[in-house]
Amino acid sequence: MPAHDKKPPPAPAKLRQAAAEPKKAENIARRLAFVFLAAALAGIATYVSRVGHGGATRRVQAVTSVPESYAVCTDPGLVYTVDERRPNADCLLVKKDRIAATGTLEEIQAEWDVYQIDLVNKFYGGESKAKKPLKVIRPPSGSIIIPGLADAHAHLMMYGAKMQLNLEGAETIDEVLDRIEHYVASHPAPHDDGVRWVEGFGWDQTRWKDWRGGFPSKTDLASRPSLAGIPMALSRVDGHALWVSDRALELAEAKLPGGRWPGHGEVEGGEVMKDKNGKPTGVLVDSAMALIPVPPPSEAQMTEQLERAVKDALAVGLTSVHDAAVNGRMLNVFKKMADDGRLPIRVYAMANEESSEYWGGRFERLEDYGKDGRLNLRSVKLFTDGALGSWGAALLEPYSDNPSTSGLMRSSEEALKQTVTKFWNDGWGVNIHCIGDRANKAVLDIFEGLLQGNESAAQRRPRIEHAQIMRREDLTRAGQLGVITSVQPTHATSDMWYAESRLGPDRILGAYAYQSLLQLSSNKVLPLGSDFPVEGIKPLLGFYAAVSRLDGRGESPHGPGGWFPSERLTRAQALKGMTFDAAYASFAEGDLGSLSVGKKADYVVLDRDIMNEGAAFTDILATQVRATVIDGRVLHGGI
C-alpha cells in the first residue's frame, strides 16, 4: 500500500455530485434553491462573494458559519495538501463535507462554473440567472491551510481527568505538594460520610531540582499535615507508576488476601516498591497499580472528562484522535455522545480491558458510527511492558543506571503470543505498547509468525505503539514486515535528559530513531502522536520536537543542533506523519489525511507558515490555530 494516493485526479464530471435521477429533479431543485438562498442570507455579514475571474476579495470578519459550498484561499502556495500529485495550492473548493477541487482561484472558479452549468441545465432549464456565485473566504495574509491534524496515540478521558489535578511541569516536590494542598483546600470532602479520594496525574521525579533520586514515597505526602489521612493516588507522567498515601495503602491492604502485600516477583508485570524493612514505600509500578482500590469514575464524570478533552483538542487543531485504550464503560460514553451528535472530532478507538481472560468478544466493531459518523473501533490495544522513566521498560540487558533490574514484561513471551494470536484470528487489528528492546523484539517475533500466512501487513496494519528502544536489526525488521511504528516525538525530547544514562551509549543509538524508522518503512509511513496527557495535547509541540529534537527552551544534551540530529524529520515528513500516515494507520486514508479531491473537508488554518524549512524553530511554538474545520464546518475559531 503506497504512502500517498496514486490514483489520477478525477475528471470534472466526477465532481458534479448534485445530479440525481430525473424523477427526483423537481424536489432536488427546490432544495438547492433553498440552500443557496439560506446561505446567501446567513452569510452577508461574514463573507464576501467573488464572481467570475476578476473580482476583488476582502475579509470582513472571521467566518464561523460557512455555506454548504465555498472556496477558501490563502496567499499563493500556502495550502499544503500532503498530496504528492499537487503538494501546494492557493485554494480549496468545498462542497458540503467534501473537497471538490484544489488549485488556483481561476481553476477553482472554472470547476464551480462547470458545476453550476450542470445544475442549471438539469434543474433550471438552462436559465443563466439561476447560476450562483462562488463564495470565496480569505483568512488573513500569511495564514496557511493544512489537513486536519491527527494524534495517532492519545487518551482522551485520561486527559480530562488529569486537568482536575495536574502535577505536570512541577520543578520540585514541594511544588507538587503545594498543588495537592491547594486542590484539597478548594475541593472539600463530601458530607455523606463517603471516602474522598484525591487523584492527580503528571509528577515526574526526573525533573525535580535537588531531588535525592529514585521514587518519592508515602512519607513525602505525609510531610504536609493537611494531607494526612486522605487516600491519594497520584499517577506518574507516563501512567506506569502510582504514588499513594499511607491511607490509600491501608484501604488497599484491607482487601489483600490475608492482608499481606505481595513480595518481589509475585505481581506479574508489576512491582510493589518496598523499603529495607519490607514495607510498601507508597509507589506501585505497572500491574501492581491495580491493587489500589481507587473508585472508578461515574458515567457523568467520564462524560465531563470527554467533553473537556474534545473541546481542548479542537482548540489546538486536532480533527482526529486515536484513543489508545478504551474500555467498555468508556465506549458507552463515546457512543452516547456520537448518537447525540456531540462528538465533534473523529475518534479511532482501540479497545482495551484490564483482564486476564480473553475480552475480544465484549466489543462490537464500529464503522463511521453516530449521527456524524465520527466514531470507529476495529482494533485492540495490548501492553507488553512499562515505561523508561519508571524503570519498567523491558530490556534485554539490565539498566545502565540500575543494574538490579531489566524492567518488566507484563506477561511471558509465550502467553503474549497466545493472546495476540487469539485477537488476530478473530479479525481484530492489533496495536501493542512496546517501549524496551525486549518488548519490541517479542512483538516483532509474534507479528513475523502471523504475517507468514496469506494476509499482508497492508490488509491488517499491525502497529507497535511507541517503538521506543529497538535493536538496529529490529528497526530493519519492522520495516521489512510492514509493521506500523506509531511514535511520539515529544517522548524523545522529554526523555533525552536521562535516556542515555539509563540505556548506555550503545542501546541509545536504536532509541527514538524516527528518521531511521521512516526510511526503513516499506511504505514510508510513520504516524505521529503525543500520548497525551503523558505529554501536552498541542500537536504543534510534537511537530516542533520531530523537526528540531529540542526542548521548549531550544536546548538538548547535544546542544542547539538537537539531540541525535540525524533522526530529525523534515517538516514535510512531520506533517505527513500527523495527517496521512495517521489516517493510514487507522484504515482511513481514503477519506482523511490529505487535502485531496473527494476526501473529507477537514482542515486547519494556522496564522503562520510552519512549513518553511528556513524559518526558525521557535516560530512553530508561537503558531496559533485560527480555525479548525471538520466536514467543511468551522468548529473552532474563525477563518
Length of the chain: 639
Same domain? For 162 and 208 the reply is: yes
The residue from 291, 313, 340 where one domain ends is 291
Quick one: which H or E segment has residue 475? Answer: helix 472-481
Q: Are residues 12 and 98 both part of a single domain?
A: yes
CATH (domain of 233) = 3.10.310.70
Q: Quote the Cα angle for 35-45-59, to 5°.
A: 110
Q: Which helix (H) or strand (E) holds 494?
A: helix 489-495
* Residue that terminates a domain, selected from 270, 291, 312: 291
- Higher per-residue confidence, 18 vs 258: 258
Let me know whether 141 and 183 are in one domain: no
Report helix, strand or coil for 596: coil
- Output the pLDDT for position 57: 32
Residues 41 and 134 in one domain: yes
Among 38-47, 434-443, 571-580, whose mean pLDDT is lowest? 38-47
Number of domains in the chain: 2
Residues 13 and 125 in one domain: yes
Same domain, 84 and 164: no
Residue percentage of the chain with pLDDT more than 90: 82
The answer to whether 425 and 395 have CB atoms below 8 angstroms apart is no
User: What residues have CB less than 8 Å from 255, skipping those under 6 apart?
Assistant: 293
Is 565 within the bounds of a domain?
A: no
C-alpha cell at 594: 490529505
Q: Does the pLDDT at position 445 exceed 80?
A: yes
What is the CATH classification number for the domain harbouring 13? Answer: 2.30.40.10
Query: What range defines the domain where residue 199 resides?
Result: 157-291
Tell me, what DSSP letter sits at residue 22? Answer: G
**Could you tell me if residue 42 is inside a domain?**
yes
340 within domain boundaries: no
Q: Which of 262, 291, 320 is the last residue of a domain?
A: 291
C-alpha distances out from residue 83 to 167, 430, 465, Å: 40, 28, 26
Closest by CA position to 72, among listed 87, 93, 43, 58: 93
pLDDT band for 193, please (50, 70, 90 cuts): low
496 has a pLDDT exceeding 80: yes
Residue whose C-alpha is closest to residue 532's, from 308, 214, 246, 221: 308
Residues 135 and 260 in one domain: no
- Check residue 126 and give its pLDDT: 62
> What's the mean pLDDT in 313-325?
98
Is the predicted pLDDT of residue 33 greater than 90, yes or no?
A: no
Q: Is residue 322 part of a domain?
A: no
Cα Rg of the chain (Å, integer):
26
Query: In whole numbers, what is the pLDDT of the chain averaged over residues?
Result: 89
**Per-residue pLDDT reduced to its tens digit, 387-410:** 999 999 999 999 999 999 999 999
In this prediction, residue 568 carries a pLDDT of 98
Is residue 51 pLDDT above 60, yes or no? no
The bridge status of strand 91-95 relative to strand 98-103 is: antiparallel
Give the pLDDT mean for 176-192: 88
Supply the pLDDT for residue 63.
64
21 with 133, same domain? Answer: yes
Q: Is the pLDDT of residue 194 over 80?
A: no
All cell numbers assigned to 251: 484501604
pLDDT of 441 > 90? The answer is: yes
510 near 475, Cβ under 8 Å?
A: yes
Indicate whether 52 pLDDT > 80. no
Q: What is the pLDDT of residues 570-588, one digit of tens each?
A: 999 999 999 999 999 999 9
C-beta of residue 431 within 8 angstroms of C-beta of residue 380: yes
- In this structure, is residue 170 part of a structural domain? yes
Do the beta carbons of residue 389 and residue 416 sit within 8 Å?
A: no
Q: What is the pLDDT of residue 64?
A: 66
Domain co-membership, 144 together with 166: no
| pLDDT attached to residue 119 | 80
pLDDT at residue 12, rounded to an integer = 35
- Reply yes or no on whether the pLDDT at 10 is more than 60: no
Q: Say if 69 falls within a structural domain.
A: yes
Least confident piece of the model among 29-33, 134-138, 420-424, 558-562: 29-33
Provide the pLDDT for residue 129: 60
Cell, residue 404: 538490579
1 lies in the same domain as 117 = yes
Residues 140 and 26 in one domain: yes
Q: Closest Cα to residue 380, out of 343, 327, 339, 330?
A: 327
pLDDT over threshold 50, residue 14: no
Residue 170 contacts residue 203 (beta carbons within 8 Å): yes
Assess whether 184 and 121 both reside in one domain: no
CA-angle at 82, arms to 81 and 88, nearest 5°: 45
Tell whether 487 is covered by a domain. no
pLDDT at residue 178 tops 50: yes
Q: Residue 632 domain-assigned?
A: yes
Measured distance CA(392)–CA(349) in Å, rounded? 25
